[in-house]
A and B are shown apart, each in its own frame.
Chain A
Amino acid sequence: LAKTTQPISMDSYEGQEVNITCSHNNIATNDYITWYQQFPSQGPRFIIQGYKTKVTNEVASLFIPADRKSSTLSLPRVSLSDTAVYYCLVLNQAGTALIFGKGTTLSVSS
């Protein structure tokens, strides 16, 4: 399974755009990149998933360069409620357990 590396923590202010970069140097051809959000005492919540280039949904954007060795989660105009832990994971096929790294703790202040 591809190992991921991401910053332990990030700080931001309300209204700013936040970009969290994750490296996954040994990602395999069939791997997808997936991001989850977790609030205290809750299960992780799916944010976005991509394979290459750019993916956008109503919550975030995911940028993946051509070599796919890294990815960047972009959260536009964060609010206080976006304070959470964000996990970058690599999923190699449906049905395989997700292995979580330490994640990035994002703190949004007013």
Chain B
Amino acid sequence: GAVVSQHPSWVICKSGTSVKIECRSLDFQATTMFWYRQFPKQSLMLMATSNEGSKATYEQGVEKDKFLINHASLTLSTLTVTSAHPEDSSFYICSPSGKKNNEQFFGPGTRLTVL
């Protein structure tokens, strides 16, 4: 399978601050990047889809001005949670999709805790 990394693996921040999460696909080119979040004891929820060099498409109910996604290269995408609040505390998972059969890969996730 593909190697996907996320940084940081966990982060604790104060309410009102912004947090940037990096996702790297280390051994293949991700033409598309999916970002998910997962609340405790719930399933993964798709937040947004981004194609390299294009603006992201957000799912209904996800604020595009709050969750800024940058997909400037085929191996790196970032998710910035702006002015984070306690309700943004969640597990954020990236999923790069590229031309490597039908398998979709997932990052190890980033645990965000907003105090």
Q: Which residues of A contact B (CB under 8 A)?
A: 32, 34, 36, 41-46, 49, 87, 91, 93-103
Contact = CB atoms under 8 A, between A and B. Distances in A.
Interface stretch (B12-20, B73-81, B91-99): B91-99
A41 B43 contact: no
Which residue, A44, A46, A99, has most C-beta atoms of chain B within 10 A?
A: A44
Nearest to B32: A95
Give me the 6 closest cross-chain CB pairs, A-B, nearest first. A43-B106, A100-B44, A100-B43, A97-B34, A44-B106, A43-B109
A87 B23 CA distance: 23
B105 interface: yes
19 contacts: A34-B103, A34-B104, A43-B4, A43-B95, A43-B106, A43-B109, A46-B103, A46-B104, A49-B102, A49-B103, A91-B104, A94-B97, A94-B102, A95-B31, A97-B34, A97-B49, A97-B97, A100-B45, A103-B43
Which residue, A34, A36, A43, has most C-beta atoms of chain B within 10 A?
A: A43
Which residue, A46, A91, A94, A97, has most C-beta atoms of chain B within 10 A?
A: A97
A29 B31 CA distance: 25
Contacts of B93: 43-44
Given A41-B91, A41-B111, A43-B93, A99 B106 contact: no
Contacts of B46: 97, 99
Contacts of B105: 46
Nearest to A93: B102
